[in-house]
Structure 1
Amino acid sequence: MRSISDIKHYRTMLQNARTLEEAVVMEQMRATSRNLSALYAMLCVASLSLGMSFLNHAPLYLTLGLPCLFIVGSILRINHWRDSQAEFTDPLRAQRDFVVIEIGSLIIFAVIGGWIALLWPYAIGRQEAQLALFTGLIGPVGMMCSMPRPRIVAAGLSGTLLIFCFVFVRHDPFYYGYMAVPMAVSYAAFLKVSLTYKQRIAESVMLHNELVSENERASGLAESNRFLALSDTLTGLPNRRRFFEQINLFFERSPNGELPIVGLVDLDGFKPLNDVFGHSAGDAMLVETANRMKAAAARYGGSVARLGGDEFAYVLPWNTSREEAMKFSLELVASISHPVVLPSGDISRVSASVGMSSRSFDVASAKDLLEQADFALFRAKEATSGPVVEFSSHHAASKRREVLVHQAFKNADLDKEIHLVFQPIIDTRDGAIRRCEALARWDSPEIGMVPPGEFVPIAEKA
């Protein structure tokens, strides 16, 4: 199996290719370079073995000198190719390296051919057969290592056949001539296999490029689907799900326990506008509100979202001061209240209420900040403290009381705990009691007497 680094190298190589031919050349170079070490090792062993067999019959420069020189050169070339793996991602460098390999192959075969010709006069009996075997096999075995590049294979096999014919067939045309014929046919089969191998490389590269294109299209489609899943289709703002991800991100990345500021924005007067002017007018108002909020948040490094309907939200980073957050919220309210030209040509406006979270309370998660902002927004909608309300200690106490009453209400035995009291209705003319108003009262054994103003809204929610 390929290693991860090898796969990355392969991808980089194909990405750098400007044409299919360049990609094929780089893949040929990559495949060939992996076999060059084995090729040089085989040549070293074969040449040393051949030289040793002539040790007592030929001069030392032929038997040991040339093989040792060949071994040294092979070691240098093996180290060169081992250090050149990263260069195969450059198509121009790969083409130049192939030219060097092709020229080097011709030089190697010329040297080997000259060496065989010099050893031939010293060959006697078995040595002659060994020399012929070395000549006939060294070419095809060596070319198997260069199989991805048919030009090198053709040059090597042709050179081997020429050397065999020049040295052996010329000496004994009848015996060695019959050997040269099957050699030529075998070499032609080798070349055909090499051409097929190159074709498979080209097909593999084409298939990889198609797979990359399909993967890019699939990635683009997945990204588009993710954008649609996390965005509001009308305004283009992040939707509720994406906003929850954003406030969690702001919360987790805040250093030293500093908290971001979360705000909820609700439009006042939007429903009447939608009812009177139609949904297209309502959509135009929402789009314009989103644009104004986005422009305002950009100046403070914040992010805005549409949670649904006419409810929006924002989050400001941890380094935003309380004063800046309040200033931003007031600017937001003022910006939203500016007139908007509707598609019908009419001019209308809406106002906004904002609830902000507070840094004065310890929280366990970003969800707590959102709950603070939601509670503050509820108070802002009551129009008791202005359009912008920050969560406070009074709100915290009210919230705790609300949770307490809610839990007690869920556990209550209403048949026993709720009782009636009667408010007499008196005729002011004569002071007589004409009728009575029946009022429900809840006497909880857990938290005591609960006023109707507390438990009725909770009962309505439940």
Structure 2
Amino acid sequence: MNTLASVSAAAAPLLAGWSVHTLLLRRRIARIRLDPLTGLPGRAQFTTSARRDLRAPGAVVVLLDLDGFKAVNDTHGHAAGDAVLTAVGDRLQTWAALLGGSAGRLGGDEFAATAVIPDSARRPFELRELDEVLCSPVPFRGAELTVGASIGAFAVAGLPAPALDLALRRADEAMYAAKRTGGGWRIAEGPIPEMTTTNGRRTGRPGTTAPAGGRR
């Protein structure tokens, strides 16, 4: 027993050191998966959490991008643009968390979120509130920066099984419809996509080339 006790005592610091190393490694990996500017999950981590969120009854997927963001960057500089993105990330994350969901930054000024809104009659109110919150001025060095938002949403209740890819596609189409009419929010109805795709993405999105005669 004395020998075993001695071995255990000698191994204890090594085990403790390894535990600390493992914990630090996990934290480092978690930080890598977060967007360094907003602190929100990036695309990969958001996808993981969103697929889990979609299992909840009444789950809604939201996709949005900002209107007038380039003008803020061009007029006030990139620091101002960063302030806007950070504020939008905070506001979106708060909204999603209050509704039992999560948020992420997909890249540039494009964000996504999930929310649980079982009552379909309440969805317009919640989206209107989100739009108002996102469009509130952002204080920056004594000035107030203002951007708009185009928000698309899709409720997964009509799907036979939760499918994030389809939900995001329909939310993206609703977002595009909102943008074409000057911003605000739209809810996509039904699971059948209404727009053509190029390389698996809505035709007209960055990184796609519209085919001749295709819808834009």
Write 1 or 2 for the structure with the bigger share of strand. 2
Task: Please tell me whether the aligned partners of residues 230 and 238 of structure 1 are also in contact (alpha carbons under 8 angstroms).
Answer: yes
TM-superposed CA distance for 1:276, in Å, is 1.4
Looking at structure 2, the residues matched to 201 and 358 of structure 1 have their Cα atoms a distance apart, in angstroms, of 60
Runs of 4 or more, structure 1, over 6 Å off, are none
> Match for residue 376 of structure 1?
174
Looking at structure 1, the residues matched to 81 and 142 of structure 2 have their Cα atoms a distance apart, in angstroms, of 13
Structure 2 CA distance for partners of 1:358 and 1:456, relative to 1, 3 Å: farther
Q: Give runs of aligned pairs for residues 16-415 of structure 1, distance below 5 A.
A: 31=1, 148=2, 197=3, 201-202=5-6, 204-251=7-54, 253-254=55-56, 258=57, 260-317=59-116, 320-342=118-140, 344-359=141-156, 361-362=158-159, 364=161, 365-383=163-181, 387-393=184-190, 396=192, 398-399=194-195, 402=196
Looking at structure 1, the residues matched to 104 and 192 of structure 2 have their Cα atoms a distance apart, in angstroms, of 25
Instruction: Provide, for residues 262-282 of structure 1, a one-character-per-residue CA deviation record: whole Å limited to 9, x for no partner.
Output: 000111100110111111111
Task: Please tell me whether the aligned partners of residues 58 and 118 of structure 2 are also in contact (alpha carbons under 8 angstroms).
Answer: no
Looking at structure 2, the residues matched to 331 and 241 of structure 1 have their Cα atoms a distance apart, in angstroms, of 27
Task: Please tell me whether the aligned partners of residues 53 and 101 of structure 2 are also in contact (alpha carbons under 8 angstroms).
Answer: no
Unpaired segments of 5 or more residues in structure 2? 200-209
Greater radius of gyration (CA): 1
Structure 2 CA distance for partners of 1:302 and 1:214, relative to 1, 3 Å: same
TM-superposed CA distance for 1:455, in Å, is 4.6
2:174 is aligned with what amino acid? A
CA RMSD in angstroms, aligned pairs only? 2.6
Write 1 or 2 for the structure with the bigger share of helix. 1
Structure 2 CA distance for partners of 1:457 and 1:217, relative to 1, 3 Å: farther
Task: Please tell me whether the aligned partners of residues 250 and 260 of structure 1 are also in contact (alpha carbons under 8 angstroms).
Answer: yes
TM-superposed CA distance for 1:346, in Å, is 2.0
Task: Please tell me whether the aligned partners of residues 316 and 325 of structure 1 are also in contact (alpha carbons under 8 angstroms).
Answer: no
Looking at structure 1, the residues matched to 10 and 122 of structure 2 have their Cα atoms a distance apart, in angstroms, of 57
Instruction: Provide, for residues 134-178 of structure 1, a one-character-per-residue CA deviation record: whole Å limited to 9, x for no partner.
Output: xxxxxxxxxxxxxx3xxxxxxxxxxxxxxxxxxxxxxxxxxxxxx
Looking at structure 1, the residues matched to 48 and 157 of structure 2 have their Cα atoms a distance apart, in angstroms, of 23
**Which TM-score applies when normalising by structure 1?**
0.41
Unpaired segments of 5 or more residues in structure 1? 1-30, 32-147, 149-196, 408-453
TM-superposed CA distance for 1:325, in Å, is 2.9
2:64 aligned counterpart, secondary structure: strand
Instruction: Provide, for residues 181-239 of structure 1, a one-character-per-residue CA deviation record: whole Å limited to 9, x for no partner.
Output: xxxxxxxxxxxxxxxx4xx733x233322222222222222221221232111111111
Looking at structure 2, the residues matched to 298 and 368 of structure 1 have their Cα atoms a distance apart, in angstroms, of 23
